[in-house]
Amino acid sequence: MLSSAFVFVLLVAAVGAPFLAPSSPFKTNIVDRLQSPSRNHLFGTDAVGRDVFSRVLYGARISISIAAAVIGLAGSFGMLVGAIAGFRRGVIDTVLMRVTDIFFAFPSLLLAMAINAALGASLPNAIIAVTIVWWPSYARLMRGQVLALRQELYVEAAQALGASNFRILWRHITPNAILPLVVKVTNDVGFTILTVAGLSFIGLGVQPPTPEWGAMVADGRTFMLDYWWYATFPGLAIALTVLSFAFLGDSLQEVLDPRLRSP
């Protein structure tokens, strides 16, 4: 319940950032630089006098948009590959799964860093890099679901009635395979935000002055000892978002799978 409440607040902040933010996230004021949290600046100000609270709110909008783009692209492509591999099997399955194994052979963050560095430091390239890293897990999960469901009686009944392979796969198998993917999507929202924040932290993702949480933590890390609020609040936003989506995903898994419910 707490995770759901935080996710709801996060979505409200992302949608309503232009109305909730007390000032523009790009407005500088050198006179007010590095001010501690106060009534005028709830989260303090940064090195050039920008309101940290406003930047955190706009950072929520950017982070949620990035996560939606990555999961939408990676999930769609991964589900397509996994569904085809699991349904067709044989040579097609072997080739597609060996390709996914190549991606699994590398640590995901390091691979995303390498791709992002090769493409160039920018937000679109960060989305492309994380999408390339993320799709194999959806393909593997979808393949397993299709392999299990293609043996069900309703699939055999559809085959006996003369249904085409396309209709069987997308009308009968895919809707029944989607629930575990919903749980994975919920978990991956937080981890996608964390991955992109990591890329921005090392200078490969979102570039200043865009108010992205990872880039804000990177800007504030050199001021941590004297001006703790600079990096603390965007860092807390990342941590709470990842934890909330992870707990929400676990709760959804318990709801969707009765075997995991507590007695």
Read off the pLDDT of each residue in 44-60 and give the average, rounded to a whole number: 90
Are 106 and 85 contacting, i.e. CB atoms less than 8 angstroms apart? Answer: no
Q: Count CB neighbours of 187 within 10 A.
A: 18
End-to-end Cα separation, the chain, in angstroms:
19
Read off the pLDDT of each residue in 145-160 and give the average, rounded to a whole number: 82
Buried b (16+ CB within 10 A) or exposed e, 61-76: bbbbebbebbbebbbe
Are 189 and 179 contacting, i.e. CB atoms less than 8 angstroms apart? Answer: no
| 2-8+54-260 homologous superfamily | MetI-like (1.10.3720.10)
pLDDT of residue 145: 87
Q: How sure is the predictor about 257, in pLDDT bands with cuts at 50, 70 and 90? A: low
Fill in the DSSP letter of residue 39: S
Q: How sure is the predictor about 165, in pLDDT bands with cuts at 50, 70 and 90? A: confident
Read off the pLDDT of each residue in 174-196 and give the average, rounded to a whole number: 86
Contacts of residue 234, Cβ cutoff 8 Å, sequence gap at least 6: 52, 55, 56, 59, 213, 214, 216, 217, 220
- Rounded Cα–Cα distance for residues 195 and 245 (Å): 14
Q: Is 33 left (phi over 0), alpha (psi -120 to 50) or beta?
A: beta
Angle, alpha carbons 9-11-13 (nearest 5°): 70
pLDDT for residue 258 is more than 70: no
Please state, rounded to an integer, the average pLDDT across all residues of the chain: 86
pLDDT for residue 261 is more than 70: no
SS (H, E, C) 149-217: HCCCHHHHHHHHCCCCHHHHHHHHHHHHHHHHHHHHHHHHHHHHHHHHHHHHHCCCCCCCCCCCHHHHH
Contacts of residue 252, Cβ cutoff 8 Å, sequence gap at least 6: 182, 183, 186
pLDDT tens, residue by residue, 71-114: 999 989 999 998 888 888 888 888 999 999 888 888 888 888 89
Please identify which residue in the block is written with the tokens 């890293």. 133
Q: Give me the percent of the chain exceeding a pLDDT of 70.
A: 97
Closest CA to 200 of 66, 33, 68, 47: 66
- Rounded Cα–Cα distance for residues 209 and 157 (Å): 58
